Amino acid sequence: MRKPHEQPGQAMPGPLPLPGWIARAAAEPLDAAAFRSGAALAHLALVAAADVPLPLWRDRLALAAAETCAAMAGRREGARALRDALHLTRAGDDPGPAGRILRQWSRAVARPISVAGLGRVLEEITPELIGHYLDAAGPTPVDRAAAVIEAVLADAPRAEAAALILADAVLARGWGQDHAVPLLSLAIRPRDLRLRGDDLRLACHRAVASGAAQAVSLAGDLSRAAARLRAVTPKLRAGGAGRAVDLFLSREALTPGALDFMSDRAARRLCDRLVALGALRELTGRETFRLYGL
């Protein structure tokens, strides 16, 4: 039943945006930055409880985090190139250095946080060390995440991506999530990772507040896009269309070939139909080797 204030065809509002004072970057002492990051995490907990497609949200954030980590590693690949490296590489083939970073992030956010799950993602770190990092101590989730970065990079100075994946996993646990949520990784700067002690903690608190603003904005966009996709689903006649919609609500990009429960022709027609209905976007701008997502 439609609520009185809703108009026919009107998109439902997404999660409330992060208040400006939380996201504001400023020269501030550690305690003030910690207050802002704590407020940001409290707001994010409300966002995660709203009508947001969380697997899709995490996967899209993973792409942004991978882009940050690729730049830290001296790679110039942007989001489009990273998507191509991951999605257009055959199963079992090497997607290349940047593609491996995105694959790590995508797999890290897809599974619940555990030593075994992260061990399959971070093959360069032993399960014993992963368990040690996940048990990091500190007064706040952000302080624990900073401790993880410091500890990982002390053991392996060039393992920036692994350090950030583990830090965001520890951070996510601290604000009540059972999956890693790329957040700190969205806004941390390469030079911040060389800081130690209170300087690193301050940088992490600031990065969390800034990353939260990006994550909340994305959650709103995806909430509205998911509503549009669900609204057109009854119009779809293709067999397997419901399964395809579920996949698009959990993955940030897919090739038609990923809909392997449909024929190739049917999958392509479904994707093009959803684009025509305004429920999907074609992400590459190409005529061939296309990728689709919300």
Of 221, 247, 272, the residue that ends a domain is 221
Q: Count the domains in the chain.
A: 2
Q: Residues 275, 144: one domain?
A: no
**Confidence check: pLDDT of 14 > 70:** no
Q: Residues 187, 285: one domain?
A: no
**What is the per-residue pLDDT for 109?**
97
What is the extent of the structural domain holding 245? 236-293
Q: Residues 92, 202: one domain?
A: yes
Query: Given pLDDT bands bounded at 50, 70 and 90, which one contains residue 251?
Result: very high
Q: Residues 69, 179: one domain?
A: yes
Q: Residues 212, 243: one domain?
A: no
Q: Is residue 21 part of a domain?
A: no
Of 188, 221, 254, the residue that ends a domain is 221
Q: Is residue 19 part of a domain?
A: no
Instruction: Determine the Cα–Cα distance for residues 290 and 274; give it in Å rounded to an integer.
Output: 14
Q: Residues 33, 177: one domain?
A: yes
Q: Residues 158, 34: one domain?
A: yes
The residue ranking higher by pLDDT, 49 or 270, is 270
Overall pTM surpassing 0.85 (yes/no) = yes
Query: Given pLDDT bands bounded at 50, 70 and 90, which one contains residue 10?
Result: very low
Query: Given pLDDT bands bounded at 50, 70 and 90, which one contains residue 5?
Result: very low
Query: Given pLDDT bands bounded at 50, 70 and 90, which one contains residue 226?
Result: very high
Average pLDDT value for the chain: 90
Q: Residues 281, 247: one domain?
A: yes
pLDDT per position as a tens digit, 166-210: 999 999 999 999 999 999 999 999 999 999 999 999 999 999 999
Q: Is residue 255 part of a domain?
A: yes
Q: What is the mean pLDDT of residues 8-22?
A: 64
Q: Residues 45, 159: one domain?
A: yes
Of 198, 221, 244, the residue that ends a domain is 221
